[in-house]
Amino acid sequence: MTTTEPRPRRSDATRAAILSAAKERFAADGYERATIRAIAADANIDPAMVMRYYGNKEKLFAAAAVFDLRFPDPDTIPHAQVGARLVAHFLDRWEEDETLLALLRAAVTNAAAGEQMQAIFANQVLPLAAALAPDPAEAPVRAGLLASQIMGMALCRFVLRLPPVVGMTRDDIIAWLGPTAQRYLTAAHP
C-alpha cells in the first residue's frame, strides 16, 4: 500500500503562494509587523483566503515556520572536523532558507515562535549533541553552547548586520567558529 497522498487540489498553487509570501514577510519584518494584508498582497490574493486556508495568523506562522536543519549523519564526519563541518552546514542552511531568519525574528517577541524554536532545539540540535558528546549526560549543555554561538553569529550577521561580521567571508567564519563549536561539543569539561 502506497502512502495515501491527498489528491492535489486546484487551490494548491494559492496555498503555496501564501506560504512563500508569509515566510518572506515573517523573515523580513518579524511576527507583529508582518500583516496578513501585506502577505496577501505579495501573494496577489485576497486577505480572506489566508484565513480560509490557514485559519488564523498564528496557524499561518506555524505552517511557515516548519523547518528541518538537515544535519549530516554524525558518523560520516571525521571527529576532528565536526566543529568546522557543523558551522559550515549551519551557514549554508541559514543562507539557503529564509525560514530560520523568520523563526529567529519572530521568536524574540512571539511566544508561539519561541516555543517552536525550543522544539527545534530539543528535536534536532540536542540529538546531534548527544551523538557527538563524550558523555551523553553533558549533551544538553553542549547543545546549548553550540546554539548560543551559532545563533549569536546569525543574529549579528543577518539581523543586526554589524559591519565587521557582515564583512567576514564564509571561510573566515568557519575558521574562527569551527574550533569553538569543536570545543563545545567534544572537549573535556573545562
Contact positions vs DNA (CB under 7 A): 9-11, 13-14, 34-38, 45-52, 56-58
> Which listed option, DNA, a second copy, none, makes contact with residue 133 (CB within 5 to 8 Å by class)?
none
127 binds a second copy (CB under 8 A): no
Distances (CA, A) of 86 to 34, 41, 124: 31, 38, 13
Taking the C-alpha atoms of residue 67 and residue 62, their distance in angstroms, rounded to an integer, is 10
Taking the C-alpha atoms of residue 144 and residue 59, their distance in angstroms, rounded to an integer, is 28
**Which range in 40-48, 60-68, 75-83, 170-178 contacts a second copy by CB under 8 A?**
170-178
Residue from the set 117, 128, 132, 185 that interacts with a second copy by CB under 8 A: 117
Q: Which is nearer to a second copy, 45 or 65 (CB)?
A: 65
32 binds a second copy (CB under 8 A): yes
Q: Which is nearer to DNA, 38 or 145 (CB)?
A: 38
- Please count the other Cβ atoms lying within 10 Å of the Cβ belonging to residue 155: 16
> Which listed option, a second copy, DNA, none, makes contact with residue 56 (CB within 5 to 8 Å by class)?
DNA
Q: Which DSSP string do the residues of 149-182 spell out, in sequence order? A: HHHHHHIIIIIS--HHHHHS-HHHHHHHHHHHHH
Answer whether 68's CB lies under 8 Å from 125's CB. no
Q: 10-29: which residues touch a second copy (CB under 8 A)?
A: 29
DSSP class of 112 = H
DSSP class of 73 = P
Residue from the set 11, 172, 182, 185 that interacts with a second copy by CB under 8 A: 172
CA–chain centroid gap for 180, Å, is: 20
> Which listed option, DNA, a second copy, none, makes contact with residue 37 (CB within 5 to 8 Å by class)?
DNA
DSSP class of 136 = G
Q: Which three cell numbers stand for residue 63?
A: 505552517
Q: Which three cell numbers stand for residue 113?
A: 515562535
**Which range in 51-59, 61-69, 74-82, 164-172 contacts a second copy by CB under 8 A?**
164-172
Q: Which is nearer to a second copy, 31 or 54 (CB)?
A: 31
CB of 11 to DNA, least distance (A): 3
